[in-house]
Amino acid sequence: MASKRAQLPANQLCNAFLSTPQPAQRRLIRGMATEAPLPNANATLAQAYADAHLTSTLAIPPVATPSSTAHTTPRAQNPFLSTASCTTHTFPTLEPATFVHYPSTHLLLPLRKDLLHRAVIYEGDATRQGTASTKWRSEVHGSNRKIRPQKGTGSARLGDKKSPMLKGGGVAFGPKPRDFSTKLPKKIYDLAWRTALSYRYKKGELILLDTEAELLGVHPHSAQRYLKDLLRQNRMGHADGRTLFVTLERREGLFSALEGEGMGRDARALDVLDVDVKDLLELGRVVVEKSALDFLLEEHEDDLGPQQRLGPWERVMEAQQGVFSSSSSSSSAGQEAAAAMLA
């Protein structure tokens, strides 16, 4: 995305006020290698893939099933799978550190607003306290005596004084404490979760950290000021849409700094067990530790088959990388090794 952004002429940057609020320069600093092509090593990788009869996209090998002899040839590889490349950064300097890869099933999902909506509503329903309570006419304190005769008085007929028609009476069908939680199939929720992460990634608003998001060497008394300055300098504070930090565990320095008065105006911090789809979509950007992102992706991949999940995919990636790094001279050796690995 950053590379595409830089190709736009300057006058179009001005016009794209509504769609892309951040000018090109910011994007270049931040997500430099998010969608940029990998260095020359990738060209040889791609060539080696083509030689080994693999597609240029990193595909998942078929599961070894005891099928009949008619189907001994390998199943056609899924042409829709590709790889999402991310840059990890250091903290708090936010310098690019390494490249990491994730499958397109996790970070390149198409935007499905209906799924996101369903997930956000499901979370909202589950969050409801449901403690609104009123007294109905049977619960209001009072007697059941008929307060005036049926006939004879010129006024309307009345029963007890607890009727909702009367002042001081009960509420007519008022709220009672109840459970507002709804159900959502786990596969849909997991898909919505990864759709939210994909949306953020595609917009360049997902920033990975290779280390813990902790304020090291900062005294607790100055942590708030330090963090405010840090966010302002990196254009991650209130003026730039606020930031959500997602960490694997509670990071004492960062979390207690953000619990200070007025710090919510600039950023929020949540650990992986507390973060929701709504939180991922709410603020201007999400800064997430790589370990936390792995945890979240592994928690929410129930809708994928066993071979499409992150663990098996990473193992396949490592195997392929090992093959291509070891085979130097002949490509045929690489082919045989790749075939052996994938068989």
Contact footprint for other proteins (CB under 8 A): 10-11, 13-15, 17, 21, 23-25, 65-71, 73, 75-76, 79, 113-114, 116-118, 120-121, 199, 240-242, 278, 281-284
Give me the least distance between CB of 22 and other proteins, in Å please: 8
Integer angstrom CA distances of residue 41 from 44, 48, 110, 325:
5, 11, 28, 10
Q: Distance between alpha carbon 180 and the CA centroid of its chain, in Å?
A: 24
Cβ atoms within 10 Å, residue 70? 6
Strand partners, 269: 245
CA nearest to 289, candidates 131, 136, 86: 86
Q: Provide the minimum distance between the beta carbon of 245 and other proteins in the complex, in angstroms, as a whole number.
A: 17
3-class SS of residue 329: coil
Euclidean distance between the first and the last CA atom of the chain, given in angstroms as a whole number: 36
Long-range CB pairs of 252-258 (<8 Å, 24+ gap) are 252/214, 253/214, 253/215, 253/216, 253/218, 253/220, 253/223, 254/213, 254/214, 254/215, 254/227, 256/220, 256/223, 257/215, 257/220, 257/223, 257/224, 257/226, 257/227, 258/227
Q: Does an H or E element contain 294, and which?
A: helix 290-299
Residue 322 near residue 335 (C-beta atoms within 8 A)? no
Tell me which residue of 300, 241, 291, 298 sits closest to 271, measured CA to CA: 291
CB count in 10 Å sphere of residue 35:
17
The answer to whether residues 196 and 116 touch, using CB atoms and an 8 Å cutoff, is: yes
Give least dist CB 262 to other proteins, A: 18
How big is the CA angle at 13 (ends 86 and 11), to the nearest 5 degrees? 145
Report DSSP state, residue 36. Answer: S
**Min separation Cβ 135 and other proteins, Å:** 24
d(CA 165, CA 314) in angstroms, rounded, equals: 68
Asked, as a colleague might, if the bond just before 92 is cis with ω within 30 of 0, I would say yes
- Closest separation between CB of residue 151 and other proteins, Å? 27
